[in-house]
Structure 1
Amino acid sequence: MNTRLVQPTDFHILEALMNGRRDTATNLAVTCDKDRNYINTRLPVLADEGLLQRVGPAENSGLYQITPYGVAAVQNRPVYDTDRDRFETLLNEQASRILIDEPMIRQVNDPEEAQGNLLDS
């Protein structure tokens, strides 16, 4: 793999998705303070690089989610500028140890615990 990223935009997109949730070009454009059309051109490239994946439920829903390779890319961003070969090695080594769990809903028995979660978000 020879990952080619546009700095700083591609890293901003990846960082915006580091929470593991799915998002669209429109929302990412606002988060990254970039034009939506430009973000729309970058998302498929990042997906082709294996850093993002298109997710459904519809095939062309426009939803993207970060992959383990994308997480590893963000974690190793400083290496990208200085040593591309090392960056690729780190992606391959670290991606297999990264799990992305879908955001989940939990039901708790203690209403105060649930209230605390509402206040934290």
Structure 2
Amino acid sequence: MDYLWDGFIIFLGTENMDLTHKFYSKSLGFASYEENECKIYNIPGGGKIGFTCEINPYQKINPIITLITPYVDSLYTKFKGEGICIKEKPKYCNDKYYFHMLDPNGYTIEIQKKINYSI
């Protein structure tokens, strides 16, 4: 059976594309490309995040972007040292070890390690 989908891009709004680009390309290390007025970031391991100035980033419903990694503690230290807004120290909950931080647009980024099963 052929797969219907090749992947996904979640598009989010931004009021400051330059600051957003610096965070996603420099701090997180994602490669990017431009499409129309959008910047799209490739996530190693699969998936894409796109940003556009055409979406209001201050909507009541604010998505969480979850990034899976085995390096939760070292990334916590790195981002804390960069002055990124971190909401709590890494913690365990059920099948995951994670912490939350905010990107320049106020979106919640969850840095997460899955425990006891594959993604």
**Which TM-score band (shorter chain)?**
under 0.3
Q: Provide the TM-score with structure 2 as the length reference.
A: 0.26
- Structure 1 or 2: more strand by fraction: 2
**What is the TM-score when the length of structure 1 is the normalising length?**
0.26
Q: Which entry has the higher C-alpha Rg, 1 or 2?
A: 1
